[in-house]
Chains A and B, each alone.
Chain A
């Protein structure tokens, strides 16, 4: 039996090998040996409830742990591997974001939002594989390297006052993490171009061809992210396999909305779109270096529940390979191209309905027949994205330049209701919330003033807070870090944390160029460790497992970022250098003048000189002055020191003459001009 079966197995092996040849990456050279450097490109499109479209580009390159190639790579960007080797980076994530992720409308529970919704500006965290005392040095070097690589001022994260060391609340829980953000960093194409350079095909071929700058930056949210993990091989420390994951998440407004808006009746129909209409470009072929190149269309749970597919069995069968007509061409929408595959989500406890994923292969297209997919809505659909269990918002309280308070308010979304039944077996269920908050040193937070309110009732801090870690800020040295684990009852409606602070004074040269704008408090991270955002899709074979889908399957806790806050601090008047110069000069002049006066004066000699002078005839000007002062006083002038009355007479005459001449001049001017 075994012998009989063997040829079949062999045949199958050959078959699969052939199959592999045609769509595995071209960069593979020695198939038989160790793992290859691989690159894959994927794009995920997802309609959002508020007439917008989420596009999520996912590029993944991986380099195997090999010493054979030395420092040479076929596909993998050399800079990254050098960076990893030099600074012994275990894991790193760098994100550039513009705009805010709207957690209420765009959801916060799915893997995309939970790992790709980032705070505005730059966020960088890294885990190092070096001894404790070298970590800071490595971090500083890393920031400078990245700053050069991505044309951004990441080097500002170098100073100890800007980055922090999360102890345990930050997801990659380990002591070697460094975390820093630059909330006011502007993100633009100059950051995107170096990021694209890391791709083997850049933006010249494949899905990256769609990255048309004007349409990208016209979007409502734009976040480019670079995540790398190096898996250390067991034998040597240096040799490591690196996985570089580059994602770009954009939220775009399909253009067709304007046309639809004219008809008021059709106003609520979702806009139809196609790849070419939203990006203004088309994919003319895949990147030949990519192992896989595919485009996905994700209809999330809420939408699928609203769409009411004719029957679920058809969907199931579609997942098994049968492209059923009524799944991709629904009464409510129409796809412009047949999906190559359809995945259904594995049933989860989180929600009743399941999301559907359509997959399109890019490889079939060519120059003459560019790849393009579109979605046309026929009927208005409204749905809601899955929300985080609690919606977090943060704001400042108080006013004035002296003190204030930060408040983090958590509000329950309806979503939590469905969860409670699953979580609470013994009636008293608890919701764990981790809060990670970094506060710059000039915002002097008083940690003792932390107060907790649950359902509008003040509660003792010890009741609600399970665990807290605080590292107070040091002036000009390190920021304040607060890590809190809250245990809230599941039925909580609202919860709020408030903490008071004093506003500090900065030294004049510590102010940034636009100091009157105010100072940013970076976003707080609110994570829900009990909840995992993952989407597991039913797949028939593991070979076709794409990096994006496997990323979706990872169990990462649900995370959300709060708003960036702007704290107005007292600022000196910078616009008055002139005044400063004037007053300094005056002070100097007064000081040196009086000093010289004191130094060169001889009191006894002066008195003698004065007496001698009094005996002599005095000059005109002092005399005049003495007259004036005497007159003003209303006393008689002492005859003693105005002996020559004639001179004073001359003086008064002179004055009269001068006045007369001036009056004449004025009169002349007045009458003859």
Chain B
């Protein structure tokens, strides 16, 4: 290569040698169109290839040893669990309107096992949007003034101390329970947890303490777990004259348990702790189910696309499938399952794989088309929930404190006879027992397996090394196109000027003009900066709008849109509308704007891929084609060729799709049907993103929206 380049240049004059990497860069920039087309296609293709490239999961940490011990949970424990279920579903226990009775029953059961029991009272804390609070660690919560005795929740916590353990670590088992309107499923989940708990009080192999948290879910499952965790990790020692929950008369009834300090286990109202949490399992039983099999669903996504260690999912999957004979599924986008284009794509991949295999028998990468479709649906939901940044269950609260946690939802095939109930208690209990035993075996915390992965089925995953490729291919053309645009714009204006001036006068005046010209991009950078500033303002607006009392979602949304437009106009007028003055001077201005926009999008996507990969991936799918194709419509109309016509159509379509609310409604329509789309939905969605401190919100407000505005401004550029 070096020599060829040398030769290609040698005909003009002996130029200094250019470094190969620089030459490669120049080469790529000069062919940016081809490169971007190839890269984008390859990126999208690689995304669709991910289900094919998924590997089977394997248990990476040797210490886990799932299923190596035979389960000890016997029918004795199951009947204990059944007893609790009966007592809880007994209509007598529901007589009191606050549901304190059932908490007492649970506490009494725990006490009888010799566990340490305490109640944790909490006030449901409203999720609030804190600007610039996205990445800070969770604090101990604000002291709210208007606590009342009417609204508080009670978590019942039982702790088994490991007989010979040193108490440094603990495993948490969470069962959400709403005492006021509990379904049979919740009672059943308590029964399963109780049967495991009663077993664990007797076993000798326990090395970590076991915490069983019965989370009061009347204010939401997440809120209860989060409140307990907040008290566990960052307790407040000072209560500044706020009415405490202890002062409420109802709560004091709690402590009048029939605690004759039987078997020495004393009940106390102080908050009890065990050591550092090693892992947490949230157990739920679904009430009604139409499936023909006992299935167990795993929910793993926590806030901002964080995932628990893959080993935890592996252990659950292994034990459920190979030991307890339960079917495991992770969430899918069901609408994708029936799509025909996906099926045909799967068939193409399958036949390709067949051909490859017939050529060389060791190439075995193909998967059946149905499996491909299912894998894609799972992958899509995995991407979607990670991108949303909203936890899919109470386990999300644990991830905020770096504790690996998952939610297991057992959905039994429904029937009412006792045999079935015992069976589900036994199998569910044995599954939980096995998982706890595995985690108990761990000497170190979970660190062996992956934290960055996408699931394509419960037993298949795509690791970060593979899924990065698709994203990297998608965003790779951005800097090249930006550079080539810049170079083109610079040189074209250079040429036009060079023609007018005689060759002899290309001296010091030209030097100056070159210097001025080389700084011309600053104008566009100013524009891009202003638009991004506007984006920041727009993303701060909902905080203030949400302060307005009695505002329906639709009106809030309208206020938001109005304020946004208003602020854009004011910003544009105040900060010396750069577009206008640029227009006057340069005709190639749009190229500069596009170049700077693309660079900023590249930076934004790159940053976002570190914070939440899935958001960046979906954002890239939307924004990269729009950025690359953006071109003033006037130019296309003027050209009038087929190519420019196609480009115009693409631009218009993309310009609509990439607008965040439009993209939201499109996605929603695809998932739920377009029938009940409402403008207010978007506001509700944004509010939920805010409430969960999702970084996706920041991404939309500060990267995607400005990018869209800039692209639209390019489209309607007058040149």
Contact = CB atoms under 8 A, between A and B. Distances in A.
Interface stretch (A46-54, A189-197, A353-361): A46-54
Contacts of A641: 7-8, 10
A51 B276 contact: no
Given A50-B264, A382-B262, A393-B273, A100 B401 contact: no
B264 A566 contact: no
B238 interface: yes
B166 A453 contact: no
Nearest to A258: B202
A64 interface: no
Nearest to B4: A626
A121 B445 contact: no
Interface in B148-178: 161, 163-169
A565 B275 contact: yes
Contacts of A498: 237
Nearest to B63: A514
Interface residues of B, number: 54
A451 B236 CA distance: 12
B263 A268 contact: yes
Contact of A456 (B169, B237, B262): B237
Interface in A381-436: 382, 384, 393, 395-401, 407, 409, 411
A240 interface: no
Nearest to B3: A622
Contact of A670 (B31, B238, B273, B358): B358
B392 to A, nearest CB: 21
A563 B260 contact: no
Interface residues of A, number: 73
Contacts of A234: none
A400 B448 CA distance: 18
> Which of B7, B11, B167, B265 has the largest number of chain A CB atoms within 10 A?
B7
B358 A397 contact: no
B322 interface: no
Interface in B215-239: 233-235, 237-239
B355 A670 contact: yes
Contact of A411 (B239, B265, B270): B270
A565 B234 contact: no
Given A50-B263, A398-B233, A564-B168, A514 B7 contact: no
A234 B31 CA distance: 98
B263 A384 contact: no
Nearest to B355: A670
A492 to B, nearest CB: 13
Given A610-B3, A638-B11, A105 B265 contact: yes
Interface string A160-182: 00000000000000000000000
A398 B234 contact: yes
A183 B114 CA distance: 27
A382 B261 contact: yes
A632 B27 contact: yes
B137 A670 contact: no
A142 to B, nearest CB: 25
A614 B2 CA distance: 13
A516 B235 contact: no
Contact of A399 (B27, B166, B233, B261): B233
A50 B114 contact: yes
Contacts of A670: 355, 358-359
Given A396-B276, A398-B137, A458-B237, A673 B358 contact: yes
A457 interface: yes
B30 interface: yes
A51 B266 contact: no
Contacts of A516: 444-445, 447
Interface string A550-585: 000000000000011110100100010000000000
A220 B163 CA distance: 5
B7 A105 contact: no
A600 to B, nearest CB: 16
Interface string A615-643: 00010001001100110111000101100
Contacts of A563: 167-168, 275
A625 B1 contact: yes
A462 interface: no
Interface in B243-292: 260-266, 270, 273, 275-276
Given A49-B261, A220-B164, A400 B238 contact: no
A318 to B, nearest CB: 28
B443 interface: yes
B204 A382 contact: no
Contact of A568 (B235, B276, B443): B276
Contacts of B265: 50, 105
Contact of A218 (B31, B204, B360, B444): B204
B138 interface: yes
B96 interface: no
Interface in A573-616: 575, 607, 610, 613-614
Interface centre among B31, B237, B261, B443 (most CB of A within 10 A): B237
Interface centre among B5, B276, B400 (most CB of A within 10 A): B276
Contacts of B263: 49-51, 268, 382
A566 B275 contact: yes
A99 B401 contact: no
A206 interface: no
B493 interface: no
B6 interface: yes
A496 B165 CA distance: 26
B402 interface: yes
A516 B169 CA distance: 13
Contact of A382 (B14, B260, B273): B260
B160 to A, nearest CB: 12
B262 A268 contact: yes
Contacts of B233: 397-399
Contacts of B7: 614, 626, 638, 640-641
A48 B265 CA distance: 11
A99 B30 contact: no
A115 B689 CA distance: 56
A293 interface: no
Given A104-B266, A633-B31, A520 B168 contact: yes
A121 B264 contact: no
B237 A632 contact: no
A52 B163 CA distance: 12
A520 B402 CA distance: 18
A517 B444 contact: yes
A456 B270 CA distance: 13
A396 B170 CA distance: 13
Contacts of B276: 396, 518, 565-566, 568
A398 B114 CA distance: 30
A59 to B, nearest CB: 24
A669 interface: yes
25 contacts: A50-B114, A99-B164, A99-B165, A104-B266, A105-B266, A220-B163, A268-B260, A382-B263, A384-B261, A393-B273, A397-B233, A407-B237, A411-B270, A514-B444, A516-B444, A516-B445, A517-B444, A565-B276, A568-B276, A614-B10, A625-B4, A626-B8, A633-B27, A641-B8, A666-B359
Report the 3 A-B pairs with minimum CB-CB distance, sorted nearest first: A50-B264, A49-B264, A626-B4
Interface of B: 1, 3-8, 10-11, 14, 27, 30-31, 114, 137-138, 161, 163-169, 204, 233-235, 237-239, 260-266, 270, 273, 275-276, 355, 358-360, 400-402, 443-445, 447-448
Given A399-B233, A638-B7, 14 more contacts: A49-B264, A50-B264, A52-B264, A222-B164, A268-B263, A397-B233, A399-B138, A451-B237, A516-B447, A518-B168, A563-B275, A564-B168, A566-B275, A640-B7
Interface of A: 48-52, 98-100, 102, 104-105, 120-121, 183-184, 218-220, 222, 268, 382, 384, 393, 395-401, 407, 409, 411, 451, 453, 456-458, 496, 498, 514-518, 520, 563-566, 568, 571, 575, 607, 610, 613-614, 618, 622, 625-626, 629-630, 632-634, 638, 640-641, 666, 669-670, 673
